[in-house]
A and B are shown apart, each in its own frame.
Chain A
Amino acid sequence: MRILVNSAWHEVRAGELAAALGELGYGERTVSTAVNGEFVAAGARAETPLNEGDRVEVLAPMQGG
């Protein structure tokens, strides 16, 4: 299915968020996620189903003021 990851379309086979992140290559990195604007804690990713067209945000630490 096609999902929108950080505003770019990606084709994934996985049906849930944890597997999709692995498939996309995020691996074990420190990131935080949201699906359709709702925060998804790391521990809840495997139980968070994805659907065609879902908007996934993957955020990482960055410099800030």
Chain B
Amino acid sequence: MLELYQTSLRSRLLLGSARYSSPAVLGAAVRAAETQIVTVSLRREGAGERSGQGFWSLVRELGVRVLPNTAGCHSVKEAVTTAHMAREVFGTPWIKLEVIGEDDTLQPDVFALVEAAGILSTEGFEVFPYTTEDLVVAERLLSAGCRVLMPWGSPIGSGRGLNNLFGLRALRAHFPEVPLIIDAGIGVPSHAALALEQGFDAVLINTAVAQARDPVLMAQAFRQAVDAGRAAYMAGPIEARDVAQPSTPVIGTAFRG
């Protein structure tokens, strides 16, 4: 079981709710993924609009936990205020803390992230910080009160998978007890399987499912990949070698000696 802030979860696949062609497709993808956590957001809504209410009704009907994000925030102040607004609307202390520092890569501003994480943790939030694989930043986030980290695989929506596998492996090895969820950049199920094989606790997928030709089938594929990757990690993979090693026993081989 996956433990996130004293919450036990069966599923190691978190699903984003954005960029689906329709609410019905989102619902079907959530069911196919068998996910228990869906990320959500807050946006400005005009007095004449009703889209936010409709979306929130749909999510509640799905019976999943929500993880609100602070997407689009570029400062500590914006992120902290958005987190408070999200806590009230969604009724959860969970917050996926994003403070964007660079618009081309959507790379987190890790300095602002650490500061905002400290403020929100003090105020009773359970913070899921969207961060990089940087070990020192991870240490600071934990010191600030975070009990879960969400390192990026590669830039959001890029589909490039685990861009710095060496760095991510170092992060995993350095913090063996901290739940680590790969957030951002996963493009295909094999990327997710690799993350789980490396010992990461879970993955968060959005674009790779929502923008697939068949999002529901892709959600199912990601579920299978996450299950396979986790099972492989638990089973203890063999070490890679540079030379061949016969798998068939050589003793008693015909025509030898």
Contacts and interface: CB of A to CB of B under 8 A. Distances in A.
Interface of A: 6-7, 24-26, 29-34, 37-39, 41-42, 57-65
A14 B71 CA distance: 32
Contacts, number: 109
Contact of B41 (A26, A34, A63): A63
Contacts of B42: 32, 59-62, 64
B16 A60 contact: no
Contacts of A31: 45, 52, 89
B56 interface: yes
Interface string B125-169: 000000000000000000000000000000010000000000000
Interface string B114-128: 000000000000000
B59 interface: yes
B19 interface: yes
A39 B18 contact: no
Interface residues of B, number: 41
Contacts of B88: 32, 39, 41-42
Interface in B34-69: 39-53, 55-56, 59, 68-69
Given A37-B77, A65-B18, A60 B89 contact: yes
Given A64-B71, A65-B69, A65-B71, A29 B53 contact: yes
A65 B47 contact: no
A34 B68 CA distance: 17
B85 A33 contact: yes
B74 to A, nearest CB: 13
Contacts of A63: 16-20, 26, 40-41, 55
21 contacts: A6-B45, A6-B46, A31-B52, A32-B88, A32-B89, A34-B85, A37-B77, A39-B81, A59-B43, A59-B85, A59-B89, A60-B49, A60-B51, A60-B52, A61-B42, A63-B18, A64-B42, A65-B18, A65-B19, A65-B41, A65-B207
A61 B52 contact: yes
Contacts of A62: 40-43, 45, 51-52, 55
A61 B55 contact: yes
